[in-house]
Amino acid sequence: MDSLLDQLAVLEDRYRELSLKVIDPAVIADEAVYRSAMRDYRKLEPIVEQVKTFRELTAAREDALLDMKSGDAELKAMAGEEVARLDGELEGLKRALQEALVPDDPSDTRDCVLEVRAGTGGDEAALWAGDLFRMYQRFADGLGWKLETLSAHPGTAGGYKEIIARVSGEGVFGHLKYESGTHRVQRVPATESQGRIHTSAATIAILPEAEEVDFTLDLNDIRKDTFRASGAGGQHVNKTESAVRLTHLPTGVVVECQDGRSQHQNYEQALQVLRTRLWEEADRQRRAEEAAERKSQVGTGDRSGKIRTYNYPQGRVTDHRIGLTIHALDRILAGELGEVVQALRTVERTERLKQAGLSVD
């Protein structure tokens, strides 16, 4: 118990530090630092409330134990019942606090960049990439998130060869990080005249968005090129060189953004995506090492691995990492990903608890 109380005291001290930091004018003036501090503050706030309740219940139990020593039989009996009740509440709260002290993935609360690319399968793969992107759009809408398209390269028969978007909201990366990998579809393509079932694929990359405090990007290392945007956007898009291509010279990483209404907007968005990609590589390695240490069933780093199959004839979706099969393909493609995401989150949480030496009911 002392060990738990010591850990909670450290957490309370950190919360007090953050409560002062988020009202510091110097911090408020720096948007990136303030946003990071507020994210940590809000994460700790409900845990600190639980700590407060835990201390109040512990104090009440001590009072009840004193009453149990009373010579008044009725008071003694009532105190015994109170101790038993408080023991039950404290045990549940203790477990909740132990779980809260198990560190989450520090990137879970971040916004993210969603990248969808057609894989094997030609035109059908591009159509499938479009279906997946719309699935994530609907999922984001259902959770009240904001999804902004940054760049899109349409397929010749529809869908997308590649489409990149920024997703912002509450706990975005923590929900979407499991989607990185190859998504395979089995169905009769719209381009198939003989009704044969084809298998094609699209790859998804979910990148936790980097902030300026995470990664310092030297603008001298970047080459900027502009070109005319293609696709939807009206005459303005087609007549001006508003699209931006940034090349990070030391690594060769290239980012294009063309869906903004101005060259400046596309430049800022491309800069953010470039920073995110460069920082994400180091973060991906960190997460892969953590997963290896936990012998994790839920991979979130290998984009080449086949993670899920969508079978149209049988109306089922199978997540191969945890052996989950759901016969609700239409609902899932309509954006109802909650059941799949929750199953993956539960597996990861269970693994973290085991790693921390906590039993799992």
pLDDT, mean of each 10-residue run, the chain (361 residues): 75 92 93 86 90 92 91 89 93 84 77 93 93 97 95 92 94 92 91 82 91 74 84 49 88 85 86 84 67 51 75 96 95 96 87 66 50
Number of structural domains in the chain: 2
What pLDDT, on the 0 to 100 scale, is given for residue 193?
67
Which of 209, 233, 100 lies closest to 145 in space, CA to CA?
Answer: 209
Q: Are residues 308 and 213 in the same domain?
A: yes
Identify whether 316 is part of a domain: yes
Q: Are residues 222 and 255 in the same domain?
A: yes
What is the dihedral angle through the alpha carbons of 53, 54, 56, 57, rounded to the nearest 10 degrees?
110
Identify whether 106 is part of a domain: no
Residue 36 has φ and ψ, to the nearest 5°, of -65, -45
Identify whether 356 is part of a domain: no
Q: Are residues 32 and 124 in the same domain?
A: no
C-alpha distances in Å from residue 121, one per residue of 129, 174, 194, 202: 11, 30, 16, 9
Identify whether 358 is part of a domain: no
Identify whether 93 is part of a domain: yes
Q: Distance between CA 228 and CA 263 in Å, rounded?
A: 10
What is the separation, in whole angstroms, between the first and last Cα of the chain? 20
Contact 133, 197 (CB under 8 A): no
* pTM of the shown model: 0.67
What pLDDT, on the 0 to 100 scale, is given for residue 234?
43
Q: Distance between CA 243 and CA 3 in Å, rounded?
A: 56
CA 198 distance to own-chain centroid: 31
Q: Are residues 239 and 161 in the same domain?
A: yes
Neighbouring C-alpha atoms within 13 Å toward the C-beta of 311: 11
Q: Are residues 178 and 264 in the same domain?
A: yes
Identify whether 42 is part of a domain: yes
Q: Are residues 203 and 342 in the same domain?
A: yes
Identify whether 359 is part of a domain: no
Last residue of some domain: 68, 101, 134? Answer: 101
Q: Are residues 147 and 284 in the same domain?
A: yes
What pLDDT, on the 0 to 100 scale, is given for residue 218?
85
What pLDDT, on the 0 to 100 scale, is given for residue 214?
67
- Any idea what the CATH number is for the domain that residue 131 is in? 3.30.70.1660
| Sole residue written with tokens 């009704």 | 195
Q: Are residues 170 and 284 in the same domain?
A: yes
| Sole residue written with tokens 């700590």 | 51
What pLDDT, on the 0 to 100 scale, is given for residue 63?
93
What pLDDT, on the 0 to 100 scale, is given for residue 235?
43
Q: Are residues 124 and 96 in the same domain?
A: no
Q: Are residues 248 and 200 in the same domain?
A: yes
Q: How many CB atoms lie within 10 A of CB 44?
A: 19
CA triple 208-211-215, angle to 5 deg: 95
What pLDDT, on the 0 to 100 scale, is given for residue 291?
56
Contact 177, 296 (CB under 8 A): no
Last residue of some domain: 101, 134, 152? Answer: 101
Identify whether 269 is part of a domain: yes
Last residue of some domain: 49, 81, 101? Answer: 101
Q: Are residues 119 and 50 in the same domain?
A: no
User: Which residues touch 202 (CB under 8 Å, ≥6 apart)?
Assistant: 116, 117, 118, 119, 125, 128, 129, 132, 182, 183, 185
Q: Distance between CA 309 and CA 348 in Å, rounded?
A: 21
Q: Are residues 267 and 317 in the same domain?
A: yes
* Enclosing domain of residue 53: 2-101
